[in-house]
Structure 1
Amino acid sequence: TPAMRSELAQQIPPAVLDMHAHWLPLRLAVYQREMAKSMQPKVGRNDPCPCGSGAKFKKCCGAAADLH
């Protein structure tokens, strides 16, 4: 009915605000983590590995799928 449609339409804005508030902490955490990653200097292939092994990055963590 038109009355039900109008009532449901009025419930949408507060529901959207509630959803935004619910997911905001997660979005901020992801954003901060990505910013922290991008702020780290890039390790060159021939630089010492940041894991502290003393080996070149390309022979240590640079050869692996991800850093340890």
Structure 2
Amino acid sequence: MYADYGIASDYNQQLAKEKHWLITKGFRAFLTIVAQSKDFKNGLEEVYRAYRDASYQAGLKDGYIYSA
């Protein structure tokens, strides 16, 4: 089937190896780099602050007083 397109079985094996590497190691490396990036950490901190502030404001509406 692939011979009609000029693709040899060696090429298919190489693609299979690259796909395996991408799934087993490539995604982990990518996520590790992203998770350690300053932009990601800053964005996560902003989400945490927004959550904390919203929770604090909701508590004030309900009559709770938070001590820091």
Instruction: Name the TM tier (shorter chain).
Output: 0.3 to 0.5
Normalised to the residue count of structure 2, the TM-score between the two structures is 0.44
Q: Which has the higher contact order (CA 8 A, sep 6+)?
A: 1
More helix, by proportion: 2
Normalised to the residue count of structure 1, the TM-score between the two structures is 0.44
